[in-house]
Amino acid sequence: MLVLGIESSCDETGVALYDTERGLLAHQLHTQMAMHAEYGGVVPELASRDHIRRLVPLTQGCLEEAGAGYTDIDAVAFTQGPGLGGALLAGSSYANALAFALGKPVIPVHHLEGHLLSPLLADEKPEFPFVALLVSGGHSQFMAVRGVGDYTLLGESVDDAAGEAFDKTAKLLGLPYPGGAKLSQLAKLGSPDAFSFPRPMLHSDDLQMSFSGLKTAVLTAVQKVRAENDGEIPEQTRNDICRAFQDAVVDVLVAKAHKALLDTGFRTLVVAGGVGANWKLRETLGRLKIQPPYAKGRAKPPAEAVKVYFPPMEYCTDNGAMIAFAGAMRLQQAQPSGGFNVKPRWPLTDIVKQPSQ
Ligand code: KG4
Ligand code: ZN
């Protein structure tokens, strides 16, 4: 079965072809980053119009890359939500029109399910069950994943998502949009000891997270630095702040990942979403071992190994491949097709079980 996947929830148009027998055959992406950069953020109307312009050429590019034609497509999957209403509608209209013309089913996909399953696109795939850490611009969540469609929410950010905190902090450091990736690059040049920021909810005995206070701590530090330097942030100081901010976020994510693995008893961790591209997070989780708890005075039990999977870099941020793949998985489960409407605020709870279930 050949599934065409369409992603248009925000500022990236992604199109891909996934074959259930042969795997990913082609994927193409157009990022609108440069277009939105001059406004300092995504302009929804411009995003929608650009998606409309890109969808046909990207689909043709994918078909050429895969050596396939329109009539070879067995189903069209598209991101139904969550995301920007107009941007989603561009993808939905295109997917539905194409599927209707071809007489093939259309499969609505939850954007986060796409991210959640994206590590399965790698050559070395994780096996179920696993803990998924979903860290994107809009979400920071831990999920127990027992199979396709079998997700339990374990905990999430109570305020800003990790990616959002990266972007907002980057903005207050004067970095151009989109700042998260840039901040992480500069962090490489910063000293880990120059600043120290709080690790919010690090010791809360659950898997909830909070990142907005951390951003405020950075703001306070930046105001102090500016006051001492004629309104400027010296280059090295900015790099140091980037480093300290990144280290604080990574510490929280790693500690919570450790707890999620302990709580579930799973020994596989999968990281998905844009923040999964972060070098420090990759480095630290790559060394993660599980230390079982032990009573004071007792011998320390040996640490247990964990398998940690990251999606290939190109599938970490928004892309069509993860939508084509999630659609193909849903198709194999014979999910009924249909759905022209979009769901800009589609809660993930619609597709996950609550811990008590
Ligand atoms: O998953 P994604 O492409 O889009 C959604 O939000 O769905 O994630 C984008 C987020 C942005 O907030 C961006 O700042 C963050 O991922 N991001 C990073 C890095 N690259 C992208 N955050 C930290 N370090 C990075 N290297
Ligand atoms: Zn995303």
Which residue's CA is the nearest one to ligand 1's atom 24? 278
- If one residue of 166, 252, 315 were mutated to test the ligand 1 pocket, choosing by the most ligand atoms within 8 A of its CB, it would be 166
* Beta carbon of 275 within 6 Å of any ligand 1 atom: yes
Tens of pLDDT, residue by residue over 220-257, are 999 999 999 999 999 999 999 999 999 999 999 999 99
Tens of pLDDT, residue by residue over 332-350, are 887 656 777 888 888 776 7
Task: Pull the structure tokens for residue 220.
Answer: 């306070």
Residue 154 pLDDT: 95
Domain ranges of the chain: 2-118+314-351, 124-309
Residue 10 pLDDT: 93
CATH C-level class of 2-118+314-351: alpha beta
Can you say how many angstroms the Cα of residue 89 is from the centroid of all Cα atoms in its chain? 21
Residue 337 pLDDT: 63
Least confident stretch, 12-16, 226-230, 350-354: 350-354
Residue 335 pLDDT: 65
Residue 232 pLDDT: 94
Whether the model clears a pTM of 0.85, i.e. scores above it, the answer is: yes
Residue 357 pLDDT: 47
Give the whole-angstrom CA distance, residue 13 versus residue 227: 42
What average pLDDT is seen over the chain?
Answer: 93
Give the whole-angstrom CA distance, residue 190 versus residue 239: 4
Nearest-atom number in ligand 1 for the CA of 164 is: 12
The reply to whether 2-118+314-351 and 124-309 are identical in fold is yes
Give the whole-angstrom CA distance, residue 292 versus residue 280: 24
Residue 264 pLDDT: 97
- Asked whether the predicted pLDDT for residue 330 surpasses 60, the reply is yes
Mean per-residue pLDDT, 24-38: 94
Q: From ligand 1's centre to the CA of 112, what distance in Å? A: 13
From the CA of 276, the nearest ligand is 1
Maximum separation of any 2 CA atoms in the chain, in Å: 71
Tens of pLDDT, residue by residue over 144-198, are 999 988 999 999 999 999 999 999 999 999 998 879 999 999 999 999 999 999 9
Burial class (CB in 10 A: 0-12, 13-18, 19+), 31: middle
Identify the residue whose tokens are 């008893």.
265
* Beta carbon of 11 within 6 Å of any ligand 1 atom: no
Nearest-atom number in ligand 1 for the CA of 115 is: 1
Strand 106-110's sheet: what is its strand order?
Answer: 23-31, 12-19, 2-7, 75-81, 106-110
Nearest to 143 by CA among 284, 271, 238: 271
- Asked whether the predicted pLDDT for residue 355 surpasses 80, the reply is no
CATH C-level class of 124-309: alpha beta
Nearest-atom number in ligand 1 for the CA of 166 is: 14
Angle made by CA atoms 7, 313, 89, in degrees to the nearest 5 = 10
Residues pairing with 81 in the sheet: 110
Give the whole-angstrom CA distance, residue 256 versus residue 270: 13
86 is in an annotated binding site: no
Backbone angles phi, psi at 120, to 5 degrees: -75, -5
Nearest-atom number in ligand 1 for the CA of 272 is: 1
138 is in an annotated binding site: yes
Instruction: Confirm if 257 and 227 have CB atoms less than 8 A apart.
Output: no
Which residue's CA is the nearest one to ligand 1's atom 6? 137
Q: 259 pLDDT band (50/70/90 cuts)?
A: very high
Tens of pLDDT, residue by residue over 289-329, are 999 999 999 999 999 999 999 888 889 889 999 999 999 99
Angle made by CA atoms 335, 75, 316, in degrees to the nearest 5 = 85
Tens of pLDDT, residue by residue over 55-97, are 999 999 999 999 999 999 999 999 999 999 999 999 999 999 9
Most confident of 4-18, 128-142, 333-347: 4-18
Contacts of 59 (CB under 8 A, 6+ apart): 4, 15, 98
- Asked whether the predicted pLDDT for residue 134 surpasses 60, the reply is yes
Instruction: Confirm if 119 and 47 have CB atoms less than 8 A apart.
Output: no
111 is in an annotated binding site: yes
Mean per-residue pLDDT, 115-141: 92
174 is in an annotated binding site: no
Least confident stretch, 48-52, 204-208, 244-248, 346-350: 346-350
For the beta carbon of residue 304, count every other beta carbon within 10 angstroms. Answer: 12
